Amino acid sequence: MRKIVVGAFVSLDGVMQAPGGPEEDALGGFAHGGWTVPYWDDALGEAMGELFAAPFDLLLGRRTYDIFAGHWPRVTEGPDKDIADLFNAVAKHVATHRPGTLTWQNSQAIGPDIAAGVRRLKEGEGPTLLVQGSSELIQILLAEDLVDEFRLLVFPLVLGRGKRLFGNGTLPGAFRLTGSSSSPGGVIVANYRRAGAVTTGSFALDPPRDSEPDPQEGQAHA
């Protein structure tokens, strides 16, 4: 069985919309596109390198696929060329109702039933299924309890509105922190692995026992 790993850039209030640029995704009037850029440094580059070090296939929503397909095939030189070569080569599994429009090499549609299609991929053989961006697809994965691991970069800012990592349909579940670090710019890099069901407890005081003496009764006989 394959693992599904969600890699995401999120603000302190959980927004993940348009981290890479002003024109990336302005749906809903989102006005802060590119909010990760001022914080980027070598430490975050290393964290992303670790994420891409193990074999993986990409698992993408249609909007993120279109953004990637319009960008990575055009990167033929410079510091991002290694990532471009990797993304261009790996298999891309895409949540889309327009399979005939997937023109990026090694791309194939998941559908028409996205949840069932992802389950089939997960139950099959192959490398990790790595989700990048794809906020709408992530909501389906969370509602179907399909996420095994989160690799989060949490940025020190609040965006107030925008597409969030965890929506109202998220199923409860516990996760275990498997690694963490912070960048010079204050970005927290945290890896969480699924750890079963949510457990609960209580800090409330136990009720008094019936055998305990009543202080008022003792005063009455004094």
pLDDT in tens, 92-101: 999 999 999 9
Beta strand pairing status for 149-155 and 107-109?
Answer: unpaired
Is 219 inside a domain boundary?
Answer: no
Average pLDDT in the chain: 93
Is 186 inside a domain boundary?
Answer: yes
- Strand order in 92-95's β-sheet? 107-109, 92-95, 56-61, 128-132, 4-11, 149-155, 188-194, 175-182
pLDDT at 111: 79
Is 222 inside a domain boundary?
Answer: no
Is 216 inside a domain boundary?
Answer: no
Residue 45 has pLDDT above 70, yes or no: yes
pLDDT in tens, 72-88: 999 999 988 999 999 99
Tokens of 137: 């697809």
Q: What is the mean pLDDT of residues 204-217?
A: 74
* pLDDT classification of 221: cutoffs 50, 70, 90: low
pLDDT in tens, 155-194: 999 999 999 999 999 999 999 999 999 999 999 999 999 9
What's the Cα-to-Cα distance from 96 to each of 70, 127, 134, rounded to whole Å?
16, 21, 12
Task: Count Cβ atoms below 10 Å from residue 58 Cβ, excluding itself.
Answer: 22
pLDDT in tens, 105-159: 999 999 789 999 999 999 999 999 999 999 999 999 999 999 999 999 999 999 9
Distance CA 66, CA 78 (A): 22
Secondary structure percentages of the chain, helix, strand, coil, to 5 = 30, 25, 50
Kindly report the CATH number assigned to the domain that includes residue 130: 3.40.430.10
Is 64 inside a domain boundary?
Answer: yes
Is 214 inside a domain boundary?
Answer: no
SS3 of 139, please?
helix
pLDDT at 205: 92
Domain count, the chain: 1
Domain span at residue 99 reads: 4-199
20-29, 51-60, 190-199: segment of lowest average pLDDT: 20-29
* pLDDT classification of 218: cutoffs 50, 70, 90: low
Taken in order 202, 178, 145, 14, is the CA torsion positive or negative? positive
- Looking at the DSSP bridge assignments, the partners of residue 199 are none
* pLDDT classification of 207: cutoffs 50, 70, 90: confident
Is 207 inside a domain boundary?
Answer: no
Look-up of token digits 């429009």: 101
Distance CA 35, CA 11 (A): 9
Is 163 inside a domain boundary?
Answer: yes
pLDDT in tens, 49-67: 999 999 999 999 999 999 9
